[in-house]
Structure 1
Amino acid sequence: MIKENPIKKINISESVLKRIVELIRNGDLKPGDKLPSIQLFSEKLQVGASSVREALKQLQVMGIITIKQGEGTFVS
């Protein structure tokens, strides 16, 4: 008999968030570095732009990045 063991839903924006944090921890992105555009990020990671946008919003709330309107998104 199959035991009940629900499959976890994968949240794409959470995966994007983890990937960006990984890039920062590995030193690929350093404080002050400008992040690629949402469109470029979504193409490189092969995810939707809305997933990247949501991840960036979460990272901003966490204080990991700073979004400057008209200038770009930067590692804090």
Structure 2
Amino acid sequence: MTRYQYKEIVNYPPSAALVECNLPFIDKPATYGAAALRDEAWLEAFKQCACKIEMNRTFYGFKNGNKTCQY
């Protein structure tokens, strides 16, 4: 009788893609002007979070539709 041995290999996505997204600000802005100045920071935070999601999608074999993310 032939016996086979096998080893299960588990691949995980990069750990950078599994870290939760950070919020750039926690407290509310004091004025409308302060809120307008924060827009760029929020946009960058959303872009970084979207890139983490795209990195996971690419790892699992889905096509990367967002060409702005650089890995």
Classify the TM-score, shorter chain: under 0.3
Q: State the structure with more CA Rg.
A: 2
